[in-house]
Amino acid sequence: MTFLNGTSAIDIDYTDIMVKLQEVQDTCSLIPDRCGLGPPNYNAEKQYNEANSFEELMTMDQTTYNHPDDIILAAKNARQRLYFGIFTEINLQYCIIDNKFYYWRKGSTNYHMLLFDKIITAIFLLKELLLIGTEHSLYIYKIDLNLCYDKSYQFLPDENEIPEPPKYYSKNIGFYISALTASSLDTIFAGSDNGSVYSIIIDDLGIYSRIFTTNPIPDCILEFTLSLFPKFLQINYPISKIVYDETTKLLASVDTASNIRFFYVKGQKNAIEFFDLYSIKKEKIISIVPVPQSDSKVIRFIVFFESGKRNYIGEIFNPISKKKSMEIVQSRPPPPNFRGPAIEAVSQLGRTVILTKSKIYIIKSEVDLQNPSKICETCYCEFIPYTGLSISTKIHSVRTILTDTFRHSSFWQNIHDPWAINVVTSSLLFTVKFKSASDDLYDLLVQNNGNFTDQLSKYFFEHKYFCEAGLTAVHLATIYGWDIQKMVLFTLAQVAKNSLQKIDILPKSDVFSKSDNFANFFNSYNSYDFENFDNFSIRDSLQNVTFKNLTFASNCFLYQLGCYMAIPWSYPVFEWKDINNGYEITKELKVNDYYKANFKKSIYHMQTMSDLMTRFVYLLRQVCNEEELILLNSDLIFLQKFTEFCKFFGETFTLLSIISEQKRDTLKQILEQIEDKSIRDRLTKFPFCSLSSGKTVFECLREFCWKMIMKNPRLGNRFIRETPNYFSVEDFKVLMSISELLTIKDENDGKIERIVQNILQNINRKFDLKHVFNNLMRLNKFNEAVTVILQKVMVVDIDKVALKWYKNGCNKYDENGRSMFDKVYFCYNLVLQKVDENNLKQVLSFDDELFHYCLYKKLMSDQTMFTSLLMISTPFLLNFLKTQNLKKEIWKFYFNRKEIPESVSELLNLLSSNVLTLTEREELIEKGLLICQSFNLTNYLNEFEKLNLIEKVTKIYRQRTRFIIQERNMQHILELVTKRKFWDLCLMLINDYPVENKNKVLSQVWTNFLIEKKLPQTEIETKVVEFCKDLGTKGDIFNVEIVLPVFEEYKMNRKFDVLWATNLMIESGFDSKEMFKIYMKLLENRNISMQIRSNFTYSALKVAKITKISTENDKNKLRKYLSESTTTAPYYNDCLNILNCL
């Protein structure tokens, strides 16, 4: 089926449905074992429910099969051995009379006879091989089902010649065979008349036997006494029965004293380990039946006694000894009114039949899903004609499947037909068959003429747990024609409608709002064409629909398919088989047998399920009103998708059927040609249901079949015809184009353009994108390769879900967005891995926005490439930088595009953040200063100078304290340096920082700067000079009017030379003219002492000499001040000389 957007079923993501089907498997595991329920000492007799009639539990085949007259006559002459039986697996009846073996097809009067030298002591059918034991001889016959001449091989201890085929030869069996069982030719076990158990091994050397290492069991009554005697005096009992279960590898043997021994079989060479010992006294065992793992997790054998009693023996782990043992888990009494003795018994899937001479006792064991702790056993006794001799049944073929669906008949009826029992009497054979759950529902539907009555409503209410009733109803619809299907669908629609109203048992008047009964309803809609009804016509795509809480309407179909798929669900599509060609053992690939067994049935079943759901959706829309349909909306959408899934599933089995027809060595070659190891593993190692192995099983199968078509193009037409959802005509065109592409060697070949166009025209089809991309790259067609990738992305994500998810912050809880992004990125990544400096501009020429974002993200890991990217004009780069908060790159982006003011502004924003290292900050501040100076950006220049100062202060602070200042705030830093008494740093900050009473503060800080630590004169001089020269004596802190008084006061306090302050300030770079003015201003003060006036006069003259002041007014003032000075000062004469020189 093709959707409106041009895609097909394989393009839909079925993960949600696969998850739901897995939930069905998990739900089955919640059902407890039907065997061994209840405490060991419970009163089981009260748990029996007696059926009203034989027909309530079973049906009887009306045809009976009389034994051939000659056989009956011969049986009357039997002396030592007489046994009538049937091999149910091949419908072959047989009779053992002493040393004669008669066999004939069921219902035939023509028989064959095999004559032996000794009495026949044991017999077992292994597929088509018949194993016969006669005292010390073993015979293996190849049974011809057409009853042609039978070729036999006899092996005697004294035989000298090797018969054909040699591998069946053995010189010496060495023991008396009393019982036989096997699961294959290399797993044959035999019991002997001395109570020992042997394994019989067949290999290239012939046949040989090996006794189990444990000793035979002595009679327990005499055990203590015999232990006092030599071992050879102990009494051993012949083995009468031996059974083996290949699913548990457990072997059980029963001797004539009803002692049971258990063995665990290990290894290919039948290395046997003694498992446990169990002895039963006084009660004769008539049968022991192995229970496969699929039927129970605990019970391993069911033992039947002559009294009609049953013991369920389980494998129990002892946590103290850390060993397993075989123990009685449950014991069931004989059925009510049992009249024995019992002759033989069979049991399987909770159904048991016990045979006596005149009756068969039928027992149906089932778990009550409403009350799982309750044991429900229904029994019935039926008289049989003639004397009962034996019963036989076929072991279900899928007993080795490890699934929990066999725990209840409502589940296993979907994968296994109700099993039949052949009852052999002294004169004839007849067959009885257990009824299934769907048979009971069928009777109810027919009885009520399809109307949804109280009786049917009650049935669905009582069987609502685990969707039991719905599951049974859908199964019933799949095995009957349209007449029964109409009844089933009508009933399911009513239950689905009523489940919304939470009505459990409905009165008749509430059954149906649009019609009184089933017949009237279908008469009204008889003309509707169900076959052409298209569920998907109402919706373009189901890609993004999710399903959580489904109601009964969906669960009944979901459970049905879940149970049906239980067989292949846990197994890989392909399996390896060892082939011995005589020289070596090789491996061949084949489709798993669990798939091959039911190809036709599976394909039919999937088509039937699809048709049923299509009709069911239609009926729901007719039955329910608008409000109810709104409540069922999720179910309706699910059923629509599930319908397509079933059709697609059917095609999957068709696909596997075609694959299985190919030669095994061809399949192996094709698998080896697949480069992707994950695909090979998905098909050969991971189970069908696996969701954790990357690609789905459907995608991997498609890839496998593509390789098949490339090897054999004729298969293409068959795939297109029989599996259109896997391969369409468009798929075939793409495949042929890819195949042609592989053959091209010359990059200038004109075919390449046509091939690329074909691929682009069918870009919505599934193909190996990586394969196409790599081959285009091989031919140096980079633009074409990128075009194919980006066009594929447009198809994969039509609604740009991935781009929206990315722009919205990549929400990890948005599963749809994240999943779509992963799919898209897989495509992008093929290109991203090939991007280099040579093709970067080519890649950036494409206009896929999300691709650009992914490309930018990848280039970030390569600084050289990313720098090159910033130099190229791209439409989405700025948005990417802002989205990713890449402030370090945004200013470069603007600068490279000559947008200098924007670049500087972004650079300032970057410097105000905390994303830079100290080194990066210093470098960026230097670049900012350089840019502002070069482009005359005065406003920005002041900002960078301030940042430069802060950075310089913090750097010095870090060097002194080893403490890094994180917060680049002027006030904060000022507080820190003041607290630490770093007065030089304090001066640097105050220089450009607005402070109240700034002159006073500066005077105090300068004072603190000088007097801190009372340094020696030379050190303080060096400190002042270096500080002043470093800052360039610019700014408020170098105001001479503030600094000079501080220095003069400090000089006097320290009693330094009279010119110390003057010389130091001149050396530090202070303005000498300003110094002269300040000295002259200080001398105007009449309140200073004579000594200080003399000192200031000397300093003023010294500065005047340096500044070459020559105005008469200044000279006159200096003469005046000098005259007022003390003449005894040591520098007085020097003052006169300077004054005279001015």
DSSP element (H, E) containing 323: strand 323-332
Give the whole-angstrom CA distance, residue 299 versus residue 529: 51
Q: Count the Cβ atoms, other than its own, within 10 Å of residue 84.
A: 21
Q: Are 18 and 84 in the same domain? A: no
Q: Where are the alpha helices (DSSP H) in 814-937?
A: 815-832, 840-844, 849-859, 863-870, 877-883, 887-896, 900-911, 918-934
Q: Range of 609's domain?
A: 9-27+448-675
Coil/strand/helix, residue 309: coil
For 773-791, what is the mean pLDDT?
90
Is residue 106 a contact partner of residue 65, using CB atoms and an 8 Å limit?
yes
β-pairing verdict for 351-355 and 359-367: antiparallel
pLDDT digit string (tens) for 964-989?
A: 777 777 788 787 888 888 888 888 77
Is residue 342 a contact partner of residue 389, using CB atoms and an 8 Å limit?
no
**What CATH number is given to the structural domain containing 323?**
2.130.10.10
For 76-84, what is the mean pLDDT?
89
Give the whole-angstrom CA distance, residue 823 versus residue 551: 32
Is residue 212 a contact partner of residue 272, using CB atoms and an 8 Å limit?
yes
Percentage with pLDDT > 70 across the chain: 80
Give the whole-angstrom CA distance, residue 981 versus residue 257: 107
Assign 3-class secondary structure to 1050-1065. Answer: HHHHHCCCCCHHHHHH
Q: Are 403 and 281 in the same domain? A: yes
The answer to whether residue 412 is domain-embedded is yes
Type of residue at 972: H
Give the whole-angstrom CA distance, residue 424 versus residue 86: 8
pLDDT digit string (tens) for 408-425?
A: 766 666 667 777 888 999
The answer to whether residue 907 is domain-embedded is no
Q: Are 284 and 433 in the same domain? A: yes
User: What sign results for the dihedral spanned by CA atoms 252, 253, 257, 258?
Assistant: positive
Omega of the bond leading into 165 within 30 degrees of 0 (cis): yes
Give the whole-angstrom CA distance, residue 2 versus residue 729: 12
pLDDT digit string (tens) for 890-945?
A: 777 777 777 788 778 778 877 777 777 777 777 787 888 888 877 878 777 777 87
Q: Which residues are registered as beta bridge partners of 425? A: 388
Give the whole-angstrom CA distance, residue 1004 versus residue 1015: 18
pLDDT at 582: 58
User: What sign results for the dihedral spanned by CA atoms 36, 37, 42, 48?
Assistant: negative
Helix axes 938-961, 900-911, angle to 10 degrees: 30
The answer to whether residue 1075 is domain-embedded is no
12 pLDDT band (50/70/90 cuts)? low
Q: Are 427 and 485 in the same domain? A: no
- Cα 400 to Cα 25, 246, 295, 596: the distances in Å are 16, 8, 10, 15
Q: Are 166 and 299 in the same domain? A: yes
Helix axes 15-28, 633-660, angle to 10 degrees: 90
pLDDT at 282: 66
DSSP element (H, E) containing 1074: helix 1072-1083
At 83, list the tokens. Answer: 């046994």
At 579, list the tokens. Answer: 């082939």
pLDDT at 517 over 60: no
For 589-616, what is the mean pLDDT?
78
Q: Which of 398, 367, 462 is nearest to 38 (CA)?
A: 367
27 pLDDT band (50/70/90 cuts)? low
Q: Count the Cβ atoms, other than its own, within 10 Å of residue 944.
A: 24
pLDDT at 465: 67
Exposure string for 571-595, b = 16+ CB within 10 A, e = fewer: bbbbeeeeeeeeeeeeeebbbbebb
pLDDT digit string (tens) for 649-702?
A: 888 888 888 888 888 778 888 888 888 888 888 888 888 777 766 678 888 888
Give the whole-angstrom CA distance, residue 539 versus residue 974: 70
Give the whole-angstrom CA distance, residue 293 versus residue 271: 21
Give the whole-angstrom CA distance, residue 853 versus residue 35: 62
Q: Which of 980, 931, 928 is nearest to 953 (CA)?
A: 980
221 pLDDT band (50/70/90 cuts)? very low
CA–chain centroid gap for 546, Å, is 17
- Of 265-279, 652-666, 999-1013, minimum mean pLDDT range: 265-279
Is residue 636 a contact partner of residue 620, using CB atoms and an 8 Å limit?
yes
Q: Which residues are registered as beta bridge partners of 203? A: 206
Query: For the chain, how many helices (H) and strands (E)?
Result: 43, 32
Give the whole-angstrom CA distance, residue 449 versus residue 459: 15
Q: Are 455 and 315 in the same domain? A: no
385, 418, 438 - which closes a domain: 438
DSSP element (H, E) containing 142: strand 137-142
Stated length of the chain: 1142
Is residue 682 a contact partner of residue 39, using CB atoms and an 8 Å limit?
no
CA–chain centroid gap for 142, Å, is 47
Q: Are 464 and 535 in the same domain? A: yes
The answer to whether residue 648 is domain-embedded is yes
Is residue 60 a contact partner of residue 353, using CB atoms and an 8 Å limit?
no
Q: Are 544 and 426 in the same domain? A: no
Give the whole-angstrom CA distance, residue 153 versus residue 141: 7
pLDDT at 272: 60
pLDDT digit string (tens) for 1036-1086?
A: 788 888 888 988 888 888 888 888 988 888 888 888 888 888 888 888 888
The answer to whether residue 782 is domain-embedded is no
Is residue 304 a contact partner of residue 341, using CB atoms and an 8 Å limit?
no
Coil/strand/helix, residue 766: coil
Average pLDDT, the chain: 77
β-pairing verdict for 359-367 and 375-383: antiparallel
Q: Are 371 and 287 in the same domain? A: yes
The answer to whether residue 665 is domain-embedded is yes
Exposure string for 97-108, b = 16+ CB within 10 A, e = fewer: bbbbbbbbbbee
Give the whole-angstrom CA distance, residue 1016 versus residue 1036: 27
Of residues 149 and 517, more confidence is placed in 517
At 589, list the tokens. Answer: 């690939």
Q: Count the Cβ atoms, other than its own, within 10 Å of residue 657.
A: 18
* Residues whose CB falls within 8 Å of the CB of residue 483, separated by 6 or more in sequence, listed in order: none
399, 416, 438 - which closes a domain: 438
Is residue 841 a contact partner of residue 872, using CB atoms and an 8 Å limit?
yes
At 142, list the tokens. Answer: 């190849």
Is residue 727 a contact partner of residue 703, using CB atoms and an 8 Å limit?
no
At 1097, list the tokens. Answer: 């006069």
405, 438, 471 - which closes a domain: 438
The answer to whether residue 747 is domain-embedded is no
Q: Are 405 and 460 in the same domain? A: no
Domain count for the chain, please give it.
2
Give the whole-angstrom CA distance, residue 305 versus residue 341: 9
Percentage with pLDDT > 90 across the chain: 3
Query: Please, which contacts does 967-973 make with residues 24 or more away whose CB atoms are closer than 8 Å?
Result: 968/912
pLDDT digit string (tens) for 362-384?
A: 888 777 666 666 667 888 888 88
- Cα 25 to Cα 28, 547, 562, 566: the distances in Å are 5, 18, 7, 7
pLDDT at 810 over 80: yes
pLDDT at 518 over 50: no
Give the whole-angstrom CA distance, residue 95 versus residue 101: 6
303 pLDDT band (50/70/90 cuts)? very high
The answer to whether residue 660 is domain-embedded is yes
Q: Are 412 and 472 in the same domain? A: no
305 pLDDT band (50/70/90 cuts)? very high
Q: Are 346 and 386 in the same domain? A: yes
pLDDT at 543: 38
Give the whole-angstrom CA distance, residue 145 versus residue 105: 8
Choose the most confident range, by mean pLDDT, from 460-464, 491-495, 867-871: 491-495
* Residues whose CB falls within 8 Å of the CB of residue 978, separated by 6 or more in sequence, listed in order: 986
